């Protein structure tokens, strides 16, 4: 028997590991496929984060008497080849060849698993990445909701009426109390980290998050979340997304801990705690959506009427956006935060996505890919859902005529320019009243070369975009 480690880098609430362990499985494997990761635009910082958590996982599995193996293959085909060879060897030795794994929602991963099953691999799959199993929150007609709010109501009803299971950590019994040595695999993983050009060391691992930060967040900080979450200069968000994106923290555990501290949260939609829960439900919505519409991973617009949008797709403008040199301070600060840290505040993700798709009229797929190439918390379902929401091409997306004004967004959510000054240091000495769009001030001071000129006039760009979208309707 074999536990196949995938996007579930944890011991707690891990159904595949728990079931495998109960049945006597004492071997786990991670089949690394760097070529496939690169094809899927997995960022170097997220790769490093994965390796770090694999090291932690290997150590925890050693305490359970589980041997951890790390094998590098090229891609998903290489994973299939290795597993089929392993199965043949096991059967020749008349040993169990069952493989336990947690499901993955993305299309290529689904096709890989289906191919393995079709070839005869005994692959037992479990649900571990959502609170309510995908496919169980549907309309009366049995279809996936196309609007978030009714999905949310049905999702809450499912949690309240049917509850959910959060599994405890496997416990070593008397027969398996002796540790095993997983040092060789740990050294292999560390070597992989050493070959990357970006480190995730500034981000705490899941063990530290759960032991030192999560309790305080759920007990106290979440109470200010509703009022403070949109201000990027404030430390007002949980920053749990990196751990969620690699399965290092279970969403069911988060839900259980939230309910322990705020048992009435689902009946208090105006509360700050519910505001944070709402973000977890959005995460569920996009994963359920991808389960129902797997072709979203092929870059399709959910709303196909916008397939004919005449994107401008100017490479030079896209490059300036990527570098944070648009001439709009909040946009530039956000992009520089992404490039420097591998993360971006959620409000700013909406602002920069609106700017790319609506001000520059550049295809949302360009931005979606760039985000995946940079983000430590890159998650296809959430990233695709967010970009299609901003571009008005997605499921329950913002209306096409809703176009964020980057100056008013800056004035509203970074009123003192604190965030801008941190990431656009050339504007550090600009007076507060000019910080959000400093160009006339710089001209008056004869220092216009201090900062990039504005790429576009927002009013003109808005009119151009409205015309492009109306032409498709």
Strand partners, 27: 67
Q: Considering all CA atoms of the chain, what is the largest pairwise distance in Å, rounded to the nearest integer?
A: 83
Pick the catalytic residue from 311, 339, 373, 418. Answer: 311
389 belongs to the catalytic site: no
> Using an 8 Å Cβ cutoff, are 448 and 442 in contact?
yes
Residue 389 marked ligand-binding: no
366 belongs to the catalytic site: no
Residue 223 marked ligand-binding: no
Q: How many other CB atoms sit within 10 Å of the CB of residue 194?
A: 10
Pick the catalytic residue from 203, 364, 366, 389. Answer: 364
Structure tokens at 143: 């279809």
Residue 282 marked ligand-binding: yes
d(C-alpha 67, C-alpha 15), whole Å: 18
Q: How many other CB atoms sit within 10 Å of the CB of residue 286?
A: 24
Residue 238 marked ligand-binding: yes
Pick the catalytic residue from 217, 321, 387, 389. Answer: 387
Residue 9 marked ligand-binding: no
Residue 74 marked ligand-binding: no
CA distances from 450 to 424, 428, 439, 442 (A): 11, 11, 10, 8
Residue 293 marked ligand-binding: no
Residue 129 marked ligand-binding: no
279 belongs to the catalytic site: yes
d(C-alpha 236, C-alpha 228), whole Å: 6
d(C-alpha 30, C-alpha 79), whole Å: 10
- Give every CB contact of residue 441 below 8 A, 6+ residues apart in sequence: 430, 431, 434
d(C-alpha 349, C-alpha 455), whole Å: 19
Residue 250 marked ligand-binding: no
Residue 379 marked ligand-binding: yes
Pick the catalytic residue from 98, 279, 373, 418. Answer: 279
d(C-alpha 30, C-alpha 114), whole Å: 19
Residue 413 marked ligand-binding: no
387 belongs to the catalytic site: yes
Residue 281 marked ligand-binding: yes
Residue 245 marked ligand-binding: no
Residue 343 marked ligand-binding: no
Residue 4 marked ligand-binding: no
> Using an 8 Å Cβ cutoff, are 112 and 361 in contact?
no
Pick the catalytic residue from 203, 282, 321, 366. Answer: 282
Pick the catalytic residue from 278, 339, 346, 405. Answer: 346
Residue 442 marked ligand-binding: no
- Give every CB contact of residue 176 below 8 A, 6+ residues apart in sequence: 26, 64, 65
Residues placed in the known binding site: 225, 237-241, 276, 279-286, 377-379
Instruction: Enumerate the active-site residues.
Output: 279, 282, 311, 346, 364, 387
Binding annotation for FAD: 225, 237-241, 276, 279-286, 377-379
């Amino acid at each position: 028997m074999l536990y196949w480690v995938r996007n579930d880098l944890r011991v707690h609430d891990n159904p595949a590991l728990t079931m495998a362990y109960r049945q006597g499985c004492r071997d786990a494997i991670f089949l690394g496929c760097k070529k496939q990761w690169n094809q899927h635009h997995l960022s170097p910082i997220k790769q490093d984060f994965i390796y770090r958590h694999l090291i932690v996982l290997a150590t925890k599995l050693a305490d359970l008497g589980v041997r951890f193996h790390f094998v590098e293959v090229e891609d998903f085909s290489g994973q299939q080849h290795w597993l089929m060879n392993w199965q043949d060897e096991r059967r020749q030795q008349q040993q169990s060849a069952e493989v336990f794994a947690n499901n993955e929602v993305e299309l290529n991963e689904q096709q890989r698993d289906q191919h393995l099953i079709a070839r005869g691999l005994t692959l037992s799959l479990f649900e571990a990445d959502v609170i309510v199993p995908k496919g169980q929150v549907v309309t009366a007609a049995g279809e996936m909701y196309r609007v978030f709010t009714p999905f949310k109501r049905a999702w809450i009803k499912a949690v309240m009426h049917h509850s959910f299971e959060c599994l405890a950590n496997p416990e070593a019994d008397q027969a398996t109390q002796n540790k095993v040595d997983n040092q060789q695999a740990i050294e292999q993983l560390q070597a992989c980290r050493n070959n990357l050009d970006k480190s995730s060391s500034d981000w705490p691992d899941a063990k530290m998050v759960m032991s030192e930060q999560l309790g305080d967040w759920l007990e106290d900080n979440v109470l200010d979340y509703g009022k403070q979450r949109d201000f990027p200069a404030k430390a007002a968000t949980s920053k749990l997304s990196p751990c969620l994106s690699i399965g290092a923290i279970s969403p069911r555990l988060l839900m259980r801990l939230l309910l322990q501290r705020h048992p009435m949260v689902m009946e208090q939609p105006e509360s700050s705690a519910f505001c944070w829960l709402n973000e977890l439900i959005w995460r569920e919505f996009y994963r359920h959506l991808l389960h129902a519409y797997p072709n979203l991973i092929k870059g399709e617009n959910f709303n196909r009427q916008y397939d004919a949008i005449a994107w401008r797709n100017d490479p030079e403008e896209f490059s300036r956006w990527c570098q944070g040199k648009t001439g709009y301070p909040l946009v530039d600060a956000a992009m520089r935060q992404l490039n420097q840290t591998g993360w971006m505040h959620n409000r700013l993700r909406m602002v920069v996505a609106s700017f790319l798709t609506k001000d520059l009229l550049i295809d949302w797929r360009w931005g979606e890919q760039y985000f995946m190439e940079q983000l430590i918390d890159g998650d296809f379902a959430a990233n695709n859902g967010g970009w299609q929401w901003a571009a008005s091409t997605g499921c329950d997306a913002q209306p096409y005529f809703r176009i964020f004004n980057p100056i008013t967004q800056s004035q509203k959510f970074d009123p003192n320019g604190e965030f801008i000054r941190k990431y656009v240091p050339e504007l550090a000495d600009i007076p507060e009243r000019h910080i959000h769009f400093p160009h006339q001030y710089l001209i008056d001071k004869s220092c216009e070369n201090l900062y990039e000129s504005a790429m576009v006039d927002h009013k003109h760009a808005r009119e151009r975009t409205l015309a492009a979208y109306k032409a498709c309707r």
